[in-house]
Structure 1
Amino acid sequence: MTIPVRTLSRVRLVIARCKVDYVGRLHAHLPLAQRLLLIKSDGSVSVHSDDRAYKPLNWMSPPCWLIEDAGVWTVQNKSGEKLVISFDEVLHDSDHELGAEPGLVKDGVEAHLQELLAEHVTTLGQGWSLVRREYPTAIGPVDLMCRDAEGASVAVEIKRRGEIDGVEQLTRYLELLNRDPLLAPVAGVFAAQQIKPQARTLAEDRGIRCVTLDYDSLRGIEPDEYRLF
């Protein structure tokens, strides 16, 4: 029986005692042992052991085809490479529908940092106030436009990791904003969870203040440490 793996709509899990031979640009052999075989709907076939975390021992990327014969699977791609899996004993064989994948949602992304800092703008200085999030300019929005305790305008660029590109981006915003007589002079703050030394040096050379953000503090989470007082 020949199955074009790319048409499968379910994830198939097989636990078996098997040996595996790869024939292609080189030859590789996995001797007889108990392993997990994973056949995914994206067309991939991978062979896993109980270690190595997520990394398979061997695999075939899509598009490929699975040919099932008695005791032997042959996975072949359009380049003629083959993964030959010879079974001694099948312990488990099941299909599972995983459904639609919503994607990874990262905690602490820039949009969330921007939201938190807008709510706690006094983190940047006592007496500071928020003018607007995503303040529009002709070359893109500034993350936060604020006023300091003296009422002066401050443009804030927020990154998860502060690098030179972010400093250059804020520099362009400042050059444009300082042409507006209603805003000028506009100072700059480069805020990030981590700021690379080169980026900090460039920012400070351009008169831009750097602020390292503590994400947990912005969320109101106490540090998980023992305290004497």
Structure 2
Amino acid sequence: MRLVIADCSVDYEGRLRAHLPAARRLLVVKADGSVLVHSDGGSYKPLNWMSPPARLHVAPPAPELAAEGVVETWTVQATKSDDRLVIQVFAVHEDVSHELGADPGLVKDGVEADLQRLLAEQLELLGPGHTLVRREYPTAIGPVDILARAADGATVAVELKRRGDIDGVEQLTRYLELLNRDPLLAPVRGVYAAQLIRPQARVLAEDRGITCVTLDYDAMRGVDDSASRLF
């Protein structure tokens, strides 16, 4: 990763146009080809950027730009479109590079994979008599998180999310339409399970006959101390 603090102006050219007048900024050049332009504000969000895949070309400025004080022209060209980021550098105050190596990635507590594993072990949360058919049940449009059998023998397809939005309801609806074409599975009922289900998603799910289940992740892990609660 390369970090450059420079006085620069920035122009984005492509599907839209944007201009940042000359100011002191942080330029972040990553190994994946992305280039980000930051100010000393705005939290984590860059002022402008080019996503990978992209190529960075650094060249001397055109004579008319050199006359204005530009010392380098950075052109960041997207490889899959005509979009490009043009950075005119007037002065470089810091320029450091670090080899960060391979990143192991963010490990989250309570991600969907954990919820899936715990719910597969605690299917009674869906109602008594449920049994597991398979986790990650394959379909032509992607795997269903959990496929189960209810006590009455009906097939149950479960879509799991940490936060349940409308998109998850739409996803489960597509799974149900496909699964109900299989005479060995039909009729298939849907369950939308999440730690938090947004009101709009709940209304849409219930309108489509999908059951909503709110999951208590701490209780599922066995770390919920109900004796210490005030309420």
Calculate the TM-score normalised by the size of structure 1: 0.65
Read off the aligned partner of 1:85 and give its amino acid letter. Answer: V
Residue 215 of structure 1 corresponds to which residue in structure 2? 217
Residue 20 of structure 1 corresponds to which residue in structure 2? 8
| SS of equivalent residue, structure 2 residue 222 | coil
| SS of equivalent residue, structure 1 residue 217 | helix
The answer to whether structure 1 residue 133 and structure 2 residue 139 are counterparts is: no
Residue 22 of structure 2 corresponds to which residue in structure 1? 30
User: Counterparts of 1:34-49 in structure 2 under 5 Å?
Assistant: 35-49=25-39
Residue 42 of structure 2 corresponds to which residue in structure 1? 52
| SS of equivalent residue, structure 2 residue 27 | strand
The structural deviation recorded for 1:115 is 1.4
Q: Runs of 5+ in structure 1 lacking a partner?
A: 1-10
Distance 1:53 1:26 in 2: 20
Residue 179 of structure 2 corresponds to which residue in structure 1? 173
The structural deviation recorded for 1:190 is 0.9
Residue 76 of structure 1 corresponds to which residue in structure 2? 75
Distance of aligned partners of 1:103 and 1:220 in 2 relative to their CA distance in 1, 3 Å threshold: same
Contact 1:189–1:211 (CA<8 Å) still a contact in 2?
no
Deviations 1:126-152 (A, max 9, x none): 3x242432486886866232342xx63
Contact 1:114–1:158 (CA<8 Å) still a contact in 2?
no
CA RMSD of aligned residues (A): 3.9
Residue 115 of structure 2 corresponds to which residue in structure 1? 113
Alignment counterpart, residue 96 of structure 1, candidates 73, 77, 98 = 98
Read off the aligned partner of 1:123 and give its amino acid letter. Answer: L
Read off the aligned partner of 1:21 and give its amino acid letter. Answer: S
The structural deviation recorded for 1:98 is 1.8
The structural deviation recorded for 1:84 is 1.0
Residue 65 of structure 1 corresponds to which residue in structure 2? 57
Distance 1:73 1:136 in 2: 55
Read off the aligned partner of 2:57 and give its amino acid letter. Answer: W
Contact 1:20–1:83 (CA<8 Å) still a contact in 2?
yes
| SS of equivalent residue, structure 2 residue 118 | helix
Calculate the TM-score normalised by the size of structure 2: 0.65
Distance of aligned partners of 1:58 and 1:121 in 2 relative to their CA distance in 1, 3 Å threshold: closer
| SS of equivalent residue, structure 1 residue 163 | helix
| SS of equivalent residue, structure 2 residue 102 | coil
Q: Runs of 5+ in structure 2 lacking a partner?
A: 62-68
Read off the aligned partner of 1:146 and give its amino acid letter. Answer: R
Distance 1:21 1:189 in 2: 53
Distance 2:86 2:177 in 1: 54
Identity of aligned residues (%): 38
Q: Which structure has the bigger radius of gyration?
A: 1
The answer to whether structure 1 residue 123 and structure 2 residue 125 are counterparts is: yes
Read off the aligned partner of 1:133 and give its amino acid letter. Answer: R
The structural deviation recorded for 1:175 is 5.2
Contact 1:163–1:198 (CA<8 Å) still a contact in 2?
yes
The structural deviation recorded for 1:153 is 4.0
Moved more, 133-142 or 186-195: 133-142
The structural deviation recorded for 1:97 is 1.0
| SS of equivalent residue, structure 2 residue 208 | helix
The answer to whether structure 1 residue 85 and structure 2 residue 73 are counterparts is: no
Q: How many residues align?
A: 200
The structural deviation recorded for 1:27 is 5.0
| SS of equivalent residue, structure 2 residue 33 | coil
